[in-house]
Homo-oligomer: A and B are copies of this chain.
């Protein structure tokens, strides 16, 4: 296999036939992620099978000046894995599998290319849980969830991916293997290096293996779908649920009428499990160990109804009912066809100010003709997915809508991305929530770890 390019020939010799893809037909599906960002055809797709090979790949790329895009399952929503002109793709798809589980230490070690769901299932077989969970679990890889510090539906109890990682093995831009496969729950021996690589979207190093924290599997869950009068009531309900259930509260999802009506009535993506119109819909879930907590859950909810904190509600009484409740929330992943062209904002606003932020967005968007918004999100975390239709608008007009919304995010001291990451899609807007001194430190870190810009170039920073 020769390519008339000495660098690619050297990589092909290193990786062997199964370790490199060169043909355009083979490479095409690696061009971008599910964000819809345009990606270029990779010059080649590198598929090392272990850390040593990946280290050699980076040494060769370093020597020949080749920029690489690390890729996991390509389920990212910000273009963080999209291939820019002249890039090679470095896929972790052959570095896959669970390596070890220690049920006493509550740890699991896996290769970065392992799908999230495989890790979840391996833990569950031992009566344990890896609590990070996102809709794309079957395709998203552990390495990708670490690179993007994935959030998801259980952050309110278990935190983001960062909180669930104990140790990492990472390959640096020059091929150095940085092994920090810490398994200890407490370790204050010098700087906690793994923190640098979590959430840095493959721009500082490539995660190859990870030690994850497990928790005992919960044995019972209580799920309810509630109709409330408005956001203020939802904030009160959140406070009440936190005081009553503390860390047993695992989900507190908010669906505004804009979203509810669209997925239940207009597009009919799901059947509404709750009748009547409400100012806000909340999906609330608690999880329990040992005992079901069902009585306490029902008593608390009864109390909330009596006090008119909640207008109406249903409690799931079977797995099927639990699924039909979650289906309304998860329909967000299926509305593309029905809703048409749109911007999917992933905003973070302090929960106490989220209600007024949404009102401000509505007012600002009224200036754009036929620009419709859906509102849904992880309300307990202040994470709003604001979905704004763009119709037949061109890039300039889309940019104007973004400019208005990200301007409000800046005024509200929010973040332009709560959980999806910056990638290419939001790099222009980073300065709306990070000041010059912060961006200066970030770029100095980037220069320290990747002085020649070989690791996922063009991501996070413009």
A residues neighboring B (CB under 8 Å): 102-107, 127, 148-149, 151, 155-157, 159-160, 162-163, 176-180, 182-193, 195-196, 198-200, 204, 215-216, 218, 235, 238-239, 242-248, 288-291, 296, 300, 348-352, 378, 381-383, 413-422, 426, 430, 433-435, 437-439, 441-442, 444-445, 448, 460
Rounded to whole Å, the gap between the CB of A248 and the closest CB of chain B is 7
Cα separation A317 to B188 with both chains bound (whole Å): 36
Q: Please provide the 9 A-B residue pairs with the shortest distance between their CB atoms, ordered closest to farther.
A: A104-B352, A195-B195, A247-B247, A246-B289, A186-B418, A244-B290, A187-B415, A184-B348, A185-B381
**B421 in contact with A188 (CB, 8 Å):** yes
**A179 in contact with B351 (CB, 8 Å):** no
| Also in contact, A105 and B352, with CB within 8 A (given A216-B243, A438-B193) | yes
Cα separation A182 to B242 with both chains bound (whole Å): 22
Rounded to whole Å, the gap between the CB of A148 and the closest CB of chain B is 7
Cα separation A448 to B414 with both chains bound (whole Å): 29
| Also in contact, A439 and B190, with CB within 8 A (given A196-B195, A196-B196, A300-B290) | yes
**A105 in contact with B350 (CB, 8 Å):** yes
List 9 other contacts, CB 8 Å, given A160-B188, A186-B348, A190-B430: A104-B235, A151-B188, A163-B163, A179-B438, A186-B383, A190-B442, A191-B204, A215-B246, A444-B448
Cα separation A221 to B168 with both chains bound (whole Å): 36
Cα separation A422 to B198 with both chains bound (whole Å): 24
**B242 in contact with A189 (CB, 8 Å):** no
Cα separation A184 to B418 with both chains bound (whole Å): 8
| Also in contact, A185 and B290, with CB within 8 A (given A216-B242, A350-B105) | no
Chain B residues with CB under 8 Å of A291's CB are 296
Cα separation A444 to B190 with both chains bound (whole Å): 13
**A188 in contact with B296 (CB, 8 Å):** no
Chain B residues with CB under 8 Å of A460's CB are 190-191
* 14 CB-based A-B contacts, threshold 8 Å: A151-B186, A155-B185, A178-B437, A178-B441, A179-B435, A185-B383, A186-B348, A188-B415, A188-B417, A190-B460, A191-B460, A216-B242, A218-B246, A290-B300
Cα separation A409 to B296 with both chains bound (whole Å): 46
**B195 in contact with A192 (CB, 8 Å):** yes
With CB as the reference atom, state the residue of chain B lying closest to A186: B418
Rounded to whole Å, the gap between the CB of A427 and the closest CB of chain B is 9
With CB as the reference atom, state the residue of chain B lying closest to A433: B189
**A186 in contact with B350 (CB, 8 Å):** no
Chain B residues with CB under 8 Å of A351's CB are 104-105, 185
**B289 in contact with A434 (CB, 8 Å):** no
With CB as the reference atom, state the residue of chain B lying closest to A239: B104
Chain B residues with CB under 8 Å of A290's CB are 243-245, 296, 300
Chain B residues with CB under 8 Å of A235's CB are 104
**A189 in contact with B426 (CB, 8 Å):** yes
Chain B residues with CB under 8 Å of A127's CB are 243
